[in-house]
Structure 1
């Protein structure tokens, strides 16, 4: 796997529709959390607010992954995530997902509350 220099490099390495879907996820986060910083960590895009990780994303061969960095948030959101494949720490979404901005915003808000920010 290539080592990326920036979130933009990461996104530009992806084929369509992965590129467009993750870009739409980022735009949704920017809309709800203008203070969010997008950084590359572990060679994939991560979101920090007040220096703390609140959300991450990555592309796999057949899906995209979204992660609120919290097993507790995943458990709390289990009813809303029932239509998705999940693990204790992430959600697998289709590469052409119709971005659920409110779900993302609510998960980040829950993670922020958990962190006290």
Structure 2
């Protein structure tokens, strides 16, 4: 698997595939400077070779992984949006509309906070 398209075709449910494709297209439009890649069998977006946000798929949701510090910082907004999370991911249920405002805030924070980061992950 080398591209996001390769990842998407492996999603069996066509509605889930379409929803995640919409999310990826939105990211590409909103943040054209981000690069997409597949690593650890998951689609992710990077900025100057540093991790910004990653995605995975489960039966009831897709998960967004922006790194633990971001989830901690936005924990109240995540709860207010009706999402659940662990220390490392936020669950976006397939049966709810995507909260693009929250997604934008997560990505913008990581781009800004990691502007001078010289490693893939935060240290």
Q: Looking at both structures, which has the greater relative contact order when contacts are Cα pairs under 8 Å and sequence separation is at least 6?
A: 1
In 2, the alpha carbon distance for the partners of 1:96 and 1:8 equals 22
Q: Aligned-pair distance for 1:44?
A: 1.1
1:23 is aligned to 21
Deviation at 1:112, TM superposition (A): 1.7
Q: Where does the alignment leave 5 or more consecutive residues of structure 2 unmatched?
A: 117-123
Distance in structure 1 (CA, Å) of the matches to 2:87 and 2:96: 21
Moved over 4 A (4+): none
Deviations 1:8-31 (A, max 9, x none): 011011122221121111122112
Corresponding residue of 1:42: 40
TM value normalised by structure 2? 0.84
Secondary structure of residue in 2 paired with 1:26: helix
Q: Which range is displaced more, 107-116 or 37-46?
A: 107-116
TM-score scaled by structure 1?
A: 0.87
Instruction: Write out per-residue CA displacement over residues 13-72 of structure 1, whole angstroms, 9 at most, x where no aligned residue.
Output: 11222211211111221122111111011011010111111000111122210111x211
Q: Displacement, 1:91?
A: 0.4
Structure 1 equivalent of residue 3 of structure 2: 6
Unaligned runs of 5+ in 1: none
1:62 to 42, 60, 63: 60
* Contact 1:21–1:96 under 8 Å retained in 2: no
RMSD across aligned positions (CA): 1.4
CA distance in 1, matches of 2:48, 2:95: 31
